[in-house]
Amino acid sequence: MTDARTHAELIAVLAALTNDAPRVMTVRMGAALPSGPFESGHRTLQGGLRSWIESQTGHPVGYLEQLYTFADRDRGFDDNGEHTISISYLGLVREQPAPGAFGPLWKDWYTYFPWEDLREGRPDILERVSEMMAQWAMSERPGRAERRHRIDFAFGMNDMAWNEELVLQRFELMYEAGLIAEAGQTPAFWFGKPMAADHRRILATAIARLRAKIKYRPVIFELMPESFTLLQLQKCVEALAGLKLHKPNFRRQIDQQNLIEETGEVSGEAGGRPAKLYRYRHAILEERALTVSKLPIARS
């Protein structure tokens, strides 16, 4: 039951892959995710959300799943000071021009989380974040060891391995340390573009969910063109995971899982040797949905 200063809203995280960049649809000049008031008049919540997304963004949505309901008492206040309960959904689409001159904008999601892109190795901003997080961990004696362990685990420090799925944990630790603008403090450095209310936290949740999902469900193909080369497929997985993958291992595991088939055609790209084109085997969609089907995240 909500009070006079609380309202519920639906929030859509629409993700696409364009030119090897993971993109997210935003509104308010990139400062927020598409959102709207919760309405219970639809026959199903998901059906109502699909209709709302298409009317607001002009994008038909294929794959759609609920992410999480965010209702923390100390988070999620809008610009009017009202507490918002956010029911978030993740949708996978293929990017199209947004309608209208002042319509939604597509943004590279690493604009908001620049420390999450390790395709060219650990970026300088991640090293700066790690250094400041270590300073924060040592700033107060109570809980020092526990904070140090959490930071090492989340950021892959002190012989801990980097886990690309811990996007939300890293963001929450940075929020706790006051390095995130949304925490209400003025951070010493600009760590990613801030967003309204709790929207960047919701985006972090979506990225983490998708990074985990591509390992056991073939959802990557919701973002791919109808036909593609193996290199294009690898680059798309790398873009989502924020990691460089081991090419031979990637291709061997793709072959073993029998997810794709040749189209009989080759790419027409200028320069270089023409590459075979592949397509997803739609006949195994239901079969793979019920069993384990991974796209490998094997480090180089």
Domain containing residue 69: CATH number: 3.90.79.10
Give the E-state strand segments of the chain in sequence order: 6-18, 21-26, 35-37, 63-70, 83-92, 105-108, 260-266, 276-280
Packing angle, helices 167-176 and 144-155, rounded to 10: 140
Assess whether 89 and 52 both reside in one domain.
yes
- Split into its structural domains, the chain has a count of 3
pLDDT reading at 174 higher than 80: yes
In the structure, what pLDDT confidence band is assigned to residue 100 with cuts at 50, 70 and 90? low
Residue 119 reports pLDDT greater than 60:
yes
Predicted local confidence at residue 280, as pLDDT? 87
Q: Tell me the pLDDT of the chain averaged across its residues.
A: 84
Residue 296 lies in a domain: no
70 shares its domain with 141: no
Average the pLDDT over 191-207 and give the result: 94
149 and 228 share one domain: no
E strands present in 45-201? 63-70, 83-92, 105-108
Domain assignment present for 171: yes
Instruction: Determine, yes or no, domain membership for 62.
Output: yes
| Tokens, residue 68 | 């999480």
The pLDDT of residue 123: 96
Is residue 153 very low, low, confident or very high in pLDDT (cuts 50, 70, 90)? very high
Quote the domain boundaries for residue 275: 216-289
Q: What is the CATH number of the domain that holds 238?
A: 1.10.10.10
Q: Please give the distance of CA 37 from its chain centroid, rounded to a whole number.
A: 23
The lowest-confidence range among 3-7, 106-110, 131-135, 272-276 is 3-7
* CA distance linking residue 288 with residue 68, whole number of Å: 24
Residue 257 lies in a domain: yes
Where would I find the H helices in 84-143?
124-137
Of 110, 144, 170, which residue sits at a domain end? 110
Structure tokens at 119: 């395709």
The per-residue pLDDT for 1 is 42
Residue 210 lies in a domain: no
Which pLDDT score is estimated for 68? Answer: 86
The mean pLDDT of 117-128, rounded to a whole number, is 96
Residue at token pair 């959490």: 150
Beta carbons of 271 and 260 less than 8 angstroms apart: no
Q: What pLDDT does 2 receive? A: 44
Percent of the chain residues topping a pLDDT of 90: 49
Could you give the count of Cα atoms lying within 13 Å of 184 in the half-sphere of its Cβ? 7
Across 23-27, 36-40, 138-142, the highest mean pLDDT is recorded for 23-27
- Give the residue-averaged pLDDT of 60-83: 72
Spatial CA neighbour of 249 closest among 230, 228, 268: 230
**Is residue 208 included in any domain, yes or no?**
no
What integer pLDDT is reported at residue 4 of this predicted model? 47
Task: Read off the pLDDT of residues 269-282 as tens digits, 9 standing for 90 and up.
Answer: 656 678 999 998 87
* pTM exceeding 0.75: yes
Q: Are residues 86 and 126 in the same domain?
A: no
More confident position, 125 or 55: 125
Least confident among 15-19, 177-181, 218-222, 235-239: 218-222
pLDDT score of 290 more than 80: no
